[in-house]
C-alpha cells in the first residue's frame, strides 16, 4: 500500500543516544551548536539526556561531564521550533527530574522500560501527562520477545496514557521481518501512534526503519552521522534523504540536515561510527548497544576478548541496567582461561 505524502515525525537523539559514543562528555556549547542546527533544519524533536536517561550520570552508567539541567538549559536558549525531549528510565529518573526538565524546556517525555516491564512505567507516564508533556514510550530490546508479547506490553503503555509506543531495537539485532512483525501487530491493535528506534550493529538501521514505516510507524528516531551506542543509530541525514526520495513528508530541510551532520557533528566526533567486530557481535548476540564501551573497558582490565564477553552476555539474556554483569563475565572468563591453561 502506498504511503506517499504521509507525514513522518523525526526525533533526533544525537544529544542522548549519541552521548554513549562520546562517553557522555557533551558540553553546553556542543548542545547549543547541535540543537540550534537541528532546530533550524526542522526536526520534530531533539532528545537531550544522559545516554541512560535523566539522572543516568553515575559510576554504573558513566559520569557525564555536565548535568542534565546544564545541557537542557543550553538547549532551551536556542531551540525555537522543535520540541525538546528527555528520556527517563523508571528506577533511574524520578518525578523531580521530570519537573526540572520541564522548567528547562522539555515538551516530550520518553519513558523507557525493558520489553517485559511496561507495568513499571504507569506512574511516570501518568505524571508526564499531568505535567502537560507529550509522552512517547519505549519497549527496549523488543527483539527478545514475541510480537504478541510486545503487543501485550504496548497495550499497557497505551492504557496508561502514552501518545506513541515505540518498538526499540536496542541491540541492533532485528532483521526486517522481525521489525515488520512487531510494528504491524502494534499498528493493528493500538489506537495510538507507533514509533521505531533502530541501531546499526547489523548494518540494517535504515532498512529496518523503512520496514517499520511501511508497516505504519509514523515517529522514528535518528542521530547525526549515526552517532550512538554500539555501531550507532539510523543516520538522521540519511533517513531524511531516503524518505524524501520515497515521497514521505518529514518537514526537515535536506540541505540543512546534511550540513548539520557534516559541519556541526562530524568535527565533534572522537572516533568514526563504524560497525567493528564488537559492535557487530552486539547485534549478532542481541546485547544492549550501550554495553559496548563498558565491554571494551572490562576486556582491557581483565585481558580477555571483548567478543567472548558479548557472546556470553547474549547467552545470559542480560538487559539494560545489568552493566555490572559485564565485569562479572569478564572476571569469570579470566578464571576459566586460567583453569584451562593449568589443567
Map residue 107 onto helix, strand or coil: strand
To which residue does cell 506517499 refer?
4
Interval 187-216: pLDDT, tens? 999 999 999 999 999 999 999 999 999 999
Q: Alpha-carbon dihedral of residues 181, 183, 187, 193, nearest 10 degrees?
A: 180
Please state, in angstroms and rounded to a whole number, the distance separating the CA atoms of residues 63 and 91: 17
Residues marked as catalytic:
20
Residue 197 makes CB contacts below 8 A (sequence gap 6+) with 13, 138, 166, 167, 168, 169, 170, 220, 221, 233
Question: Does the model's pTM come out above 0.85?
Answer: yes
pLDDT of residue 44: 98
Please state, in angstroms and rounded to a whole number, the distance separating the CA atoms of residues 67 and 313: 30
In the DSSP assignment, the letter for residue 14 is T
pLDDT of residue 263: 98
pLDDT of residue 211: 98
pLDDT of residue 3: 46
CATH topology of domain 9-268: TIM Barrel (3.20.20)
DSSP 68-98: HHHHHHHHHHH-SSSEEEEEE-BTTB-HHHH
> Which cell numbers in the block locate residue 241?
534523504
Q: Which residues of the chain fall short of a pLDDT of 70?
A: 1-5, 337-343
Burial 294-308 (b: 16+ CB within 10 A, else e): bbeebbeebebebbb
pLDDT of residue 6: 82
pLDDT of residue 327: 87
Residues in the chain: 343
Fold agreement (9-268, 290-342):
no
Q: Tell me the domain boundaries of the chain.
A: 9-268, 290-342
What would the CATH number be for the domain defined by 290-342?
1.10.8.60
Amino acid at each position: 500500500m502506498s504511503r506517499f505524502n504521509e507525514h513522518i515525525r523525526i526525533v533526533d537523539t544525537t544529544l542522548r543516544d549519541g552521548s554513549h559514543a562520546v562517553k557522555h562528555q557533551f558540553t553546553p556549547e556542543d548542545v547549543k551548536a547541535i540543537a540550534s542546527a537541528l532546530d533550524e533544519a526542522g526536526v520534530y524533536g531533539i532528545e537531550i539526556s544522559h545516554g541512560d536517561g535523566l539522572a543516568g550520570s553515575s559510576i554504573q552508567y558513566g559520569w557525564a561531564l555536565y548535568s542534565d539541567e546544564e545541557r537542557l538549559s543550553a538547549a532551551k536558549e536556542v531551540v525555537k521550533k522543535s520540541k525538546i525531549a528527555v528520556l527517563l528510565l523508571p528506577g533511574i529518573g524520578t518525578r523531580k527530574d521530570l519537573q526540572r526538565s520541564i522548567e528547562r524546556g522539555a515538551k516530550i517525555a520518553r519513558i523507557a522500560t525493558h520489553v517485559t516491564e511496561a507495568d513499571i512505567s504507569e506512574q511516570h507516564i501518568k505524571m508526564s501527562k499531568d505535567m502537560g508533556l507529550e509522552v512517547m514510550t519505549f519497549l527496549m530490546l523488543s527483539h527478545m520477545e514475541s510480537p504478541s508479547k510486545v503487543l501485550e506490553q504496548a497495550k499497557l503503555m497505551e492504557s496508561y496514557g502514552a501518545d506513541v509506543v515505540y518498538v526499540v531495537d536496542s541491540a541492533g539485532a532485528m532483521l526486517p521481518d522481525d521489525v515488520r512483525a512487531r510494528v504491524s501487530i502494534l499498528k493493528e491493535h493500538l489506537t495510538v501512534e507507533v514509533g521505531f528506534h533502530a541501531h546499526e550493529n547489523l548494518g540494517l538501521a535504515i532498512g529496518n526503519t523503512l520496514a517499520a514505516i511501511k508497516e505504519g510507524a509514523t515517529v522514528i528516531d535518528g542521530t547525526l552521522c549515526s552517532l550512538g551506542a554500539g555501531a550507532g543509530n539510523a543516520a538522521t541525514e540519511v533517513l531524511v534523504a531516503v524518505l524524501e526520495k520515497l515521497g514521505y513528508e518529514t518537514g526537515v530541510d535536506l540541505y540543512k540536515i546534511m550540513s548539520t551532520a557534516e559541519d556541526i557533528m562530524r568535527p565533534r566526533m572522537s572516533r568514526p561510527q563504524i560497525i567493528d567486530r564488537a559492535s557487530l557481535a552486539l547485534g549478532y548476540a542481541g546485547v544492549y548497544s550501550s554495553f559496548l564501551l563498558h565491554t571494551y573497558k572490562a576486556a582491557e582490565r581483565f585481558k580477555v576478548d571483548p567478543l567472548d564477553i558479548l557472546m556470553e552476555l547474549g547467552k545470559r539474556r542480560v538487559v539494560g541496567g545489568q552493566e555490572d554483569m559485564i565485569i562479572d563475565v569478564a572476571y569469570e572468563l579470566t578464571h576459566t582461561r586460567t583453569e584451562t591453561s593449568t589443567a
